[in-house]
Amino acid sequence: MDPRLQGLLVGILFGIVLQRGRICFNSAIRDVKMTKDNYLMKMALVAILVETIGFHLAAQLGWIKLNPLPLVPLAQIIGGFLFGMGMVLAGGCASGITYRIGEGYITAFVAAVFFGVTASAVRGGPLSFVNSWMGKPITTTDNPGGLYAAKDGAVNLTIANMLNINPWIVAIIFAIILFIVVIAWKTTERKVSGLDWITGGIALGLVGIIAYVSQKTYALGITGGWVNLFRTTTANLDLTKPIPYNWIGMEIVGIIVGAYIASLFAKEFRLRVPKDPKTFVQVAIGGILMGFGAGSAGGCNIGHILSGLPHLAISSIIFTVFAVLGNWFMVWYLFERR
């Protein structure tokens, strides 16, 4: 099957799960601090647990090579923090603003356009010079178990290949820790009309594994998809040198379609427009910060958090820490100061 068709189908599945699970990493991170509500956080942890085992198993079976994202510490620190701040302003993480387009959110559409344009500018566009400020990726030549994808012998850093031990050891310890946290941390009560945290988490994890086996080079992502859509559609108007749409670009289209279908069936589709026009300015600034952050850091909350943490990639661990800090800082600034 054409990879683009596969990307579209995986995207539709992803969009349905996101919409029915109401999965938003911005809310998940924020609620833990602001309202002491861990419902979405636990859903995300379950998904990461499922993927940690699934990704390593798929690599062990030879279906994929694990391909952790490149470690550029400054990029993940600065990019993570900016991304974390941006998603509070935008009213959603990268996946959140994408699937909410399908639910009829006009602000999500505005945020996503500014996110995509800025990320495209940073990745190979007029803002790409910022990447040289961040430095070069740090890699290793150790490839324990041969599970990792190597480029000219260089492998992107994970906890396992940094210590040069079998990736399964780290994966199993991480999975056990996640399992204990999920069991021991009391779930905030919530009357859900969509997927509950266990079902939603498992479904999201399974979509992530399917995505990896389908796309081969990586699991789910958002930033790369928006960059592909914008670049292909607008950047090269010379039709003799086309830039093709790819798996991840079509995945974005699929997410919007999937969320649209799911929200129609659930009678939750509705064009939602804020009353105060200033809200558009706020979400646009949020989108720009997110695009700059995810563009330079090499991934967003999906590429780095959902798909990156199961790799135990050093880049993704740093990004996650700083995205959480950026989110909490902006939540405090906007909502908790007074």
189 contacts other proteins (rule: CB under 8 A): yes
Which residue's CB is nearer to other proteins, number 3 or number 194? 194
**Measured between alpha carbons, how far is 220 from 248 in angstroms, rounded to an integer?**
8
**Measured between alpha carbons, how far is 111 from 125 in angstroms, rounded to an integer?**
19
196 contacts other proteins (rule: CB under 8 A): no
Shortest Cβ 334–other proteins spacing (Å): 8
Which residue's CB is nearer to other proteins, number 38 or number 76? 38
Cα angle: 39, vertex 176, 188; to 5 degrees: 15
Shortest Cβ 50–other proteins spacing (Å): 23
**Measured between alpha carbons, how far is 322 from 102 in angstroms, rounded to an integer?**
29
- Tell me the two tokens of residue 60: 């062990």
With contacts defined by CB under 8 A, name the span among 9-17, 157-165, 209-217, 262-270 that binds other proteins. 262-270
The helix/strand/coil state of 333 is: helix
- Out of 270, 281, 332, 333, the only residue in the binding site for other proteins (CB under 8 A) is 270
Shortest Cβ 304–other proteins spacing (Å): 21
Q: How far is the CA of 227 from the CAs of 52, 158, 170, 252, 278, in angstroms?
A: 27, 26, 33, 10, 26
With contacts defined by CB under 8 A, name the span among 70-78, 142-150, 192-200, 209-217 that binds other proteins. 192-200
Burial readout 151-186 (b: 16 or more C-beta within 10 A, e: otherwise): eeeebbbbbbbbeeeebbebbeebbeebeeebeeee
- Tell me the two tokens of residue 62: 């030879």
- Out of 137, 279, 285, 325, the only residue in the binding site for other proteins (CB under 8 A) is 279
Shortest Cβ 336–other proteins spacing (Å): 9
**Measured between alpha carbons, how far is 198 from 21 in angstroms, rounded to an integer?**
10
Shortest Cβ 298–other proteins spacing (Å): 26
95 contacts other proteins (rule: CB under 8 A): no
Binding mask 16-55 for other proteins (x = CB under 8 A): ------x-x-xx--xx--xxxx------------------
Q: How far is the CA of 239 from the CAs of 2, 10, 248, in angstroms?
A: 22, 28, 21
198 contacts other proteins (rule: CB under 8 A): no
287 contacts other proteins (rule: CB under 8 A): no
With contacts defined by CB under 8 A, name the span among 49-57, 148-156, 185-193, 218-226 that binds other proteins. 185-193
- The DSSP line for 131-155 is HHHH-PPBEES--GGG-B--BTTBE
Size of the site for other proteins (CB under 8 A): 35
Shortest Cβ 333–other proteins spacing (Å): 13
136 contacts other proteins (rule: CB under 8 A): no
With contacts defined by CB under 8 A, name the span among 9-17, 62-70, 131-139, 187-195 that binds other proteins. 187-195
- Out of 79, 91, 102, 200, the only residue in the binding site for other proteins (CB under 8 A) is 91
151 contacts other proteins (rule: CB under 8 A): no
Largest Cα separation within the chain, whole Å, is 59
173 contacts other proteins (rule: CB under 8 A): no
**Measured between alpha carbons, how far is 327 from 238 in angstroms, rounded to an integer?**
41
Shortest Cβ 171–other proteins spacing (Å): 32
Judging by beta carbons within 10 Å of its beta carbon (0-12, 13-18, 19+), is residue 321 exposed, middle or buried? middle
**Measured between alpha carbons, how far is 336 from 118 in angstroms, rounded to an integer?**
29
272 contacts other proteins (rule: CB under 8 A): yes
**Measured between alpha carbons, how far is 120 from 255 in angstroms, rounded to an integer?**
19
Binding site for other proteins (CB under 8 A): 22, 24, 26-27, 30-31, 34-37, 90-92, 96, 107, 188-194, 266-270, 272-275, 279, 282-283, 335
